[in-house]
A = this chain, B = another copy of it.
Amino acid sequence: MAQNIYDNPDFFAGYSRLPRQVQGLDGAPEWPAIRALLPDVAGRRVADLGCGFGWAARWFRRQGAASVLGLDLSRKMIDRARADTDDAAIDYRIADLEQLDLPGAAFDLVYSALAFHYVQDFARLIRSIHAALVPGGDLVFTIEHPIFMAAAHPHWLRDEDGRQTWPVNGYSIEGERRTDWFAKGVLKYHRTLVTTVNTLLGAGFRLRRIEEFAPTPEQVAAMPELAEERERPMMLLVAAQSA
């Protein structure tokens, strides 16, 4: 089973104060880039894997989705998500993506934001999603970028010109990475970019588009601390379609 760090009180307290948890989707600078990858969801059945507080689930419903199933490993997350909605077409459940078990051909879109890098068996996860999608169904997800995650000591350095520089090592060596992020020893799984892409292709997905989030000049002007995100990609955004 995946590490359930989100129910750790220290982690949960810190995580809950992130702009994207307080302000919702508009607090995430990559949200406009994700939106551009999403298909029209009007009348569609959506599953959100790692739904957290349910910000995206509620957004899908506002866009006209017929139903949204939101899954999360964290009881605290699901409790809060349930408390924040009275929409009968949204169903929140506790579930471990490591053992994802969805009904077959029951969804038009599977969406996931920053959850899959906590899952060890990515190939199993992607096969399960493919089976849960109707033919032609969409998978749109974001993960931490392997450039961001690979190094043993992932933190900013300065190059000889004083420029913010990100270290990469161990890139081809996949597997566990532990970082301290609101709690000690948060467990993630590093996979190369080609493993992510080839796993999708091998499971019967067609790649529609990928993005490496970098802030726009307007975003940097509004939030100067985003400038460093232009130096190395922190997130990979993927849009694929069941072939």
Residues of chain A at the chain B interface (Cβ within 8 Å): 147, 150-153, 157, 159-161, 163-173, 192-194, 197-198, 201, 206-212, 214, 229-233
A212-B161 contact, Cβ under 8 Å, with A167-B167, A193-B193, A207-B201:
no
CB distance from A76 to the nearest CB of B (A): 34
In this complex, what residue of B is CB-closest to A215?
A: B172
Q: Do residues A161 and B153 form an inter-chain contact, with CB atoms below 8 A?
A: yes
In this complex, what residue of B is CB-closest to A228?
A: B169
A197 to B240, CA, bound (A): 13
A212 to B190, CA, bound (A): 14
A197 to B208, CA, bound (A): 10
20 extra A-B contacts, CB within 8 A, seeds A168-B232, A206-B206: A147-B168, A147-B171, A151-B159, A152-B159, A152-B161, A153-B159, A157-B167, A159-B169, A163-B169, A164-B169, A165-B168, A167-B168, A168-B168, A169-B231, A171-B233, A172-B214, A172-B230, A173-B230, A192-B212, A197-B210
> Out of B153, B209, B212, which one reaches A193, CB within 8 Å?
B212
Q: Do residues A167 and B172 form an inter-chain contact, with CB atoms below 8 A?
A: no
> Out of B151, B172, B230, B233, which one reaches A212, CB within 8 Å?
B172
